[in-house]
Amino acid sequence: MSTITTTNPATGKVIETYPLMTPEDAVQRLEAAQDAFLEWRTKTHEERAPYLMRIAEVLRAHSDDLSELMTRETGKLLKDGKTEVEICAAIFEYTAQHGPEVLADEDRTHGSDGARGIVSHQPIGVIYSIQPWNFPLYQPVRVLAANLMAGNGCVLKHASICTGSGLRLRDLCVEAGLPKDLFQVLLIDHDTSDALIEHPLVRGVTMTGSDVAGRHIGSVAAKALKKTVLELGSNDAYLVLEDADIETAVKYSVMGRLYNNGQTCVSAKRFVVTEKVYDAFVAGFVAQMQAISLGDPMDQDSQLGPLSSEEQFDTVKGQVEQSVAKGAKVLCGGTAPDRTGAYYPATVLGDVTPGMPAYDDEIFGPVAAVIRASDDEDAMRIANDSRYGLGGGIFCRDEEHAVQLARDHFDTGMVRINSFGAADPNMPFGGVKDSGYGREHGGFGMKEFTNAKAIFLP
């Protein structure tokens, strides 16, 4: 029987080996989730909320062991893992507190005489969640919390390298009192996954990952007439405009590029810097990136841990080498240390131009691309010169000008002004263009997989 083996990217040592499920086993889990859904859907939103609040409590109670497990499986800094657990608890709490209002029946009118109408947001069934490794807890939680509140069931196919984290999440949900079959974790291969998408009991598919994987999963789901939410990659641009506060820009640019070891879909990746402040920004940015401490992710003093796997290391290393071969200049980093583990240093590339991976693609690691712009208008043009459109940022003292650019010109789903952050339960999360479609958080995710049912009264 085929297996999944998880490996610690900091040490190269095997953590655990798990047997893959057969297609028949996967369908049985799906059927069990469907049966649990039929019971769960009869509960009111107010009755579902306490389950979510209890899950939040249990996650916090297990913060230390969850964080350690995520660090062992993916190499994320232990302190970032603890932050992730807290974000997940907050998402469950937000969903429990706001879900009943967000999903409540809406009174409408219809017809020329203003007859009464009702819009009811009804659950649709079992949602298939396909998630990546970079946030082993957060990625499945943001789907799970919203859909539990909506009244749906959920089956998860997690990234193989964080299999243990996915299984642990389910165990803790059951410990918190969630019906044991309502949330399932499937250890399956890609062929079984494709077949599951087409299964009649799967009513919707949500996936986070690369745009290549999104195209495949989206097409399989579309042929089966299944709704999808796709949150895909990006090469987010952060603009340093002519009146930017350089100290602020440097501080948040370093944070934005290195958070989660640089492996975040909404990381700051391309730094588009206007001519007027280019030299000052680059000098400060490179100095701080050079000073970053690369080390054991379990060590509280480490500022940057390893990449998630040797495969990811090879990908990042290759993208940097290809960019340099096409004319990019290494301003710092760019050479991996001679040590065990998938460690890659904080790296800054200058003279980045179209045609390079550092300009065109997503480098999922601690590599920053600095791009020179003639002025603010040119910076905005360069930022939008991308097939992606997930997030981005603007450093600018004139907040009104920054808001106007963010609202009217930045072709992305999210924009940060003079700051950096990954996600917030109260704000929508998602992108445009090759970064996918659909929204999570901010109440939007709770309605993505519901039936907005229209009820007409005379």
Chain mean pLDDT for the chain: 97
Task: Please say if the pLDDT value at position 1 is more than 80.
Answer: no
173 is catalytic: no
- pLDDT tens track for 334-386: 999 999 999 999 999 999 999 999 999 999 999 999 999 999 999 999 999 99
- pLDDT tens track for 274-301: 999 999 999 999 999 999 999 999 999 9
3-state secondary structure of 183: strand
Of 390, 400, 448, the residue nearest 422 (C-alpha): 390
Backbone angles phi, psi at 119, to 5 degrees: -110, 120
Of 333, 313, 385, the residue nearest 75 (C-alpha): 313
Choosing from 162, 265, 332, 396, which is the catalytic residue? 265
pLDDT score recorded for residue 91: 98
In one-letter notation, the amino acid at residue 453 is K
Choosing from 84, 231, 362, 440, which is the catalytic residue? 231
**How are beta strands 115-123 and 450-456 bridged, if at all?**
antiparallel
265 is catalytic: yes
Backbone angles phi, psi at 66, to 5 degrees: -65, -45
pLDDT score recorded for residue 430: 97
Average pLDDT value for residue range 22-27: 97
Task: Please say if the pLDDT value at position 263 is more than 70.
Answer: yes
Task: Please say if the pLDDT value at position 120 is more than 70.
Answer: yes
Return the ∠ at Cα 32 (arms to 148 and 15), rounded to 5°: 80
- pLDDT tens track for 405-457: 999 999 999 999 999 998 999 999 999 999 999 999 999 999 999 999 999 99
Entry pTM: 0.97
Please count the residues of the chain.
458
* Domains parsed from the chain with CATH numbers: 3-233+434-456 (3.40.605.10), 237-424 (3.40.309.10)
- pLDDT tens track for 295-326: 999 999 999 999 999 999 999 999 999 999 99
pLDDT score recorded for residue 119: 98
Share of the chain above pLDDT 70, in %: 100
Average pLDDT value for residue range 25-33: 98
pLDDT score recorded for residue 442: 93
pLDDT score recorded for residue 52: 98
Task: Please say if the pLDDT value at position 51 is more than 90.
Answer: yes
Average pLDDT value for residue range 126-136: 98
- pLDDT tens track for 150-195: 999 999 999 999 999 999 999 999 999 999 999 999 999 999 999 9
